[in-house]
Amino acid sequence: MPLYTLTTQAGVLSHEAKAKLADDLATFHADYSGVPKEWVQVVFQDYAAGNGFTAGKPSAVAALILQIRTGRSAEYKRGMVQRLWEFVQQATRASDNQIVIGVNEVPPSQAMEMGKIMPEIGK
Amino acid sequence: MPLYTLTTQAGVLSHEAKAKLADDLATFHADYSGVPKEWVQVVFQDYAAGNGFTAGKPSAVAALILQIRTGRSAEYKRGMVQRLWEFVQQATRASDNQIVIGVNEVPPSQAMEMGKIMPEIGK
Amino acid sequence: MPLYTLTTQAGVLSHEAKAKLADDLATFHADYSGVPKEWVQVVFQDYAAGNGFTAGKPSAVAALILQIRTGRSAEYKRGMVQRLWEFVQQATRASDNQIVIGVNEVPPSQAMEMGKIMPEIGK
């Protein structure tokens, strides 16, 4: 944790764009959260053209799901998703109605990282 | 949000079946929830034959994960997943033991759609 | 439910390794939880080499997300993820900084299995 999963249509992000975005996300996350950059995992899931839909019509949906530990304030998470939106939109050039971002929270006791049960936030 | 992610074995759903199901889901969701159809995102994730297992045996598992905002009643969600089950089973022809459906809830403050932090339900 | 989704770089797990791991997970889960082995669904999601990143650098990240019903104790979940870590690491040979495991919980009222809304834990 954190685990970023960015799902986009194949071809939207080049290898170079993915590498840049992964590094931008890791750097941003470490700065924003205070956790080591080494904890930040990013996986890009590409789907074939024709597998994304907005309002029931074909669309290059870009969906970012972020898994973090519970314990952060609403303000912290609000600020985070707003910044993530900018990263995703800049990299994918998707329009506002094609992007969705959600933060899933997992209690530290039920997540592992680096071979250890995650500590509570701030511990 | 909502974001529907339907994971099926490659070949189970044709392009036409996906397009029909995506439109059915978007129409159903807008009707059932009262949110604009434009908010409904659907992504199909295909996995290669041999990558799905039920009870440890190869199986064309069909898994639908739906991300919505927190704030709906248990009755609302129960009715929704029952209807979604029918959609998935009709489209995939999967047997009862190959389908799994789950609804994940994300607090509006930690989700964005259309470039904005999501409003609370009913706002 | 439970639904195991194991995301790894293509080539890390052979067909044989996936079949063995899927059966190991189903057997373990049934033993540990007391639910029928038939309920255990496993899907492997492969991503192309170059799509995984740790600390912003290319990395064969192995991410296991497990969806279960709410209602288990923290101790139950802690013991479970520790055992799952061993399974994943043994199968993938990933190093500690490439593995992430998280357990997502879904209230039984908003999940279906075998054509039925899930019962509460222990019911």
What is the model's pLDDT at position A108?
Answer: 86
What is the model's pLDDT at position A112?
Answer: 85
H-type helices in A14-73, by residue range? 15-33
- The shortest CB-CB distance from C55 to any of A3, A15, A40 is to A40
Residue C123, pLDDT > 90, answer: no
As a whole number, mean pLDDT of residues C53-64 equals 98
Fill in the DSSP letter of residue A14.
Answer: -
Fill in the DSSP letter of residue B61.
Answer: -
Calculate how close chain A gets to B74, using CA atoms only, in Å.
20
Sign for the pseudo-dihedral over CA of B45, C66, B99, B34: negative
Distance CA A57, CA C122 (A): 42
Residue A65's nearest CA partner among B67, C62, C107 is B67
Distance CA A3, CA A67 (A): 5
Q: Kindly give the pairing relationship between strand B111-113 and strand A52-54.
A: unpaired
What is the model's pLDDT at position A121?
Answer: 83
A37-74 pLDDT, tens digit each? 999 999 999 999 999 999 999 999 999 999 999 999 99
As a whole number, mean pLDDT of residues C46-50 equals 96
| Residue of B43, B44, B68 best to disrupt the A interface, most CBs of A under 10 A | B43
What is the model's pLDDT at position B9?
Answer: 98
Residue B37 to residue A55, Cβ atoms within 8 A: yes
What is the model's pLDDT at position C112?
Answer: 86
pLDDT-flagged residues of chain B (< 70): 123
Calculate how close chain A gets to C94, using CA atoms only, in Å.
11
pLDDT-derived band at C44, boundaries 50, 70, 90: very high
Length of chain A in residues, anyone? 123
C68-111 pLDDT, tens digit each? 999 999 999 999 999 999 999 999 999 999 999 999 999 888 88
pLDDT-derived band at C25, boundaries 50, 70, 90: very high
Q: Give residue ranges of C with CB < 8 Å to any A CB.
A: 7, 45, 47-48, 50-59, 61, 63, 65, 74, 77-78, 80-82, 85, 96-105
pLDDT-derived band at C119, boundaries 50, 70, 90: confident
Mean pLDDT of chain C: 94
Q: C78 to chain A: which residues are within 8 Å by CB? A: 109-110, 117
- B121: Cβ–Cβ under 8 A, 6 or more apart, which residues? B69, B70, B71, B72, B108
Residue C122, pLDDT > 80, answer: no
pLDDT-derived band at A33, boundaries 50, 70, 90: very high
| Residue of A5, A18, A41 best to disrupt the C interface, most CBs of C under 10 A | A41
Q: B117 to chain A: which residues are within 8 Å by CB? A: 78, 81-82
What is the model's pLDDT at position C1?
Answer: 82
| E-strand stretches of chain C | 3-9, 41-47, 52-54, 57-58, 62-69, 99-106, 111-113, 116-117
What is the model's pLDDT at position A122?
Answer: 76
As a whole number, mean pLDDT of residues C23-48 equals 97
Percentage of chain C exceeding pLDDT 70: 99
Question: In angstroms, what CA-CA distances link A52 with A97, B21, C30, C92?
Answer: 12, 12, 35, 30
Calculate how close chain A gets to C88, using CA atoms only, in Å.
11
As a whole number, mean pLDDT of residues C36-46 equals 96
As a whole number, mean pLDDT of residues A27-44 equals 96
What is the model's pLDDT at position C121?
Answer: 84
